Amino acid sequence: MADTETDAGVDPAFRRDVLAGLEARPRAIPARWFYDLRGSELFEEITDLPEYYPTRVERSILDGQSAAIGDAIGAGQAVVEFGSGSSAKTPLLLNAISPAAYVPIDISGEFLRESADALSADFPDLPVHPVEADFTHPVSLPAAIADLPKLGFFPGSTIGNFTPPHAVDFLRAMKETLGEGALLLIGMDRIKGEDVLVRAYDDAAGVTAAFNLNLLERINRELDGDIPLDTFRHKAVWNDMLARIEMHIEAARDVEFSVSGRDFAMAEGETIHTENSHKYGPRDARILLRAGGWTVTHEWTDDADQFALLLAEARPEVTAP
């Protein structure tokens, strides 16, 4: 369908990804399209669910091991947070390390300014320099922090939502943004029992199901779709070969629908793959970081080793002669 008045406000990249994803085999739509207003609210709800341990455990590590984290990082850093969002975990880090400046980077300008203002209110003496940018590519940092040592901060295990090749590209982009000698504090979710993992992505209250299926509502609303929502169900599976939780939207029966004027048919049991959440064992995590140009120097986990915070340094790779 050509762009018309009825398309006003539609993100062309959303339409392109959805149409291409519904036509592809296997069908797949990138997870970044989950996060419209409702999707972002549902994600916040997920982080409070009893089954969704990552947020709670990462916070407990930042909080409970703040002295060791502060000692390893040292004072005077410019903290650069990638995809800062609501900056919910940032105060825990800032309190641990006496930073010299804070640079939140996020693609959503409005959200960024609101959370930067809230943070400035809590840390009135800390210079805050928000940067509106796509943090998956190298970003120019504000001149005001040029001479400060840099600490990248990427909590939440969002690195797991990238496939390993893209995670490596992204780690390299972070290194280019921060420069040689910089530090990176990154959260990574561990491999664990399948039942715990699946429950974290298929909770009893159905919040993760609503988060996943909200994508169809968004498609119907924004791309003039007529997908019958009650025909689809949420599915979360552990793919052991690829060490990841996969979220899919599954057709409960044969179904036909249209999106942006294009017709689609799905057979009962067919799925649209909507998200990957890769999990990393201790050595996997270190190797992934090294592939991206970062050498791990410290690692903090909880008692049950459910989640890890890793500190790494951007060092030139030294190879044996």
Which stretches of the chain bind ligand AVI, using CB under 6 A? 46, 54, 156-158, 160-161, 201, 208, 275, 277
> Smaller CB distance to ligand AVI: residue 99 or 302?
302
> Smaller CB distance to ligand AVI: residue 46 or 184?
46
User: How near is the Cβ of 3 to ligand AVI at its closest, in Å?
Assistant: 31
User: How near is the Cβ of 75 to ligand AVI at its closest, in Å?
Assistant: 29
> Smaller CB distance to ligand AVI: residue 19 or 209?
209
> Smaller CB distance to ligand AVI: residue 58 or 222?
58
Q: What is the DSSP string of 269-306?
A: T-EEEEEEEE---HHHHHHHHHHTTEEEEEEEE-TT--
User: How near is the Cβ of 278 to ligand AVI at its closest, in Å?
Assistant: 9
User: How near is the Cβ of 49 to ligand AVI at its closest, in Å?
Assistant: 9
Gap between the Cα atoms of 46 and 201, Å rounded: 9
User: How near is the Cβ of 244 to ligand AVI at its closest, in Å?
Assistant: 9
Query: Quick check: 153 and 127 in contact, CB under 8 A?
Result: no
> Smaller CB distance to ligand AVI: residue 19 or 57?
57
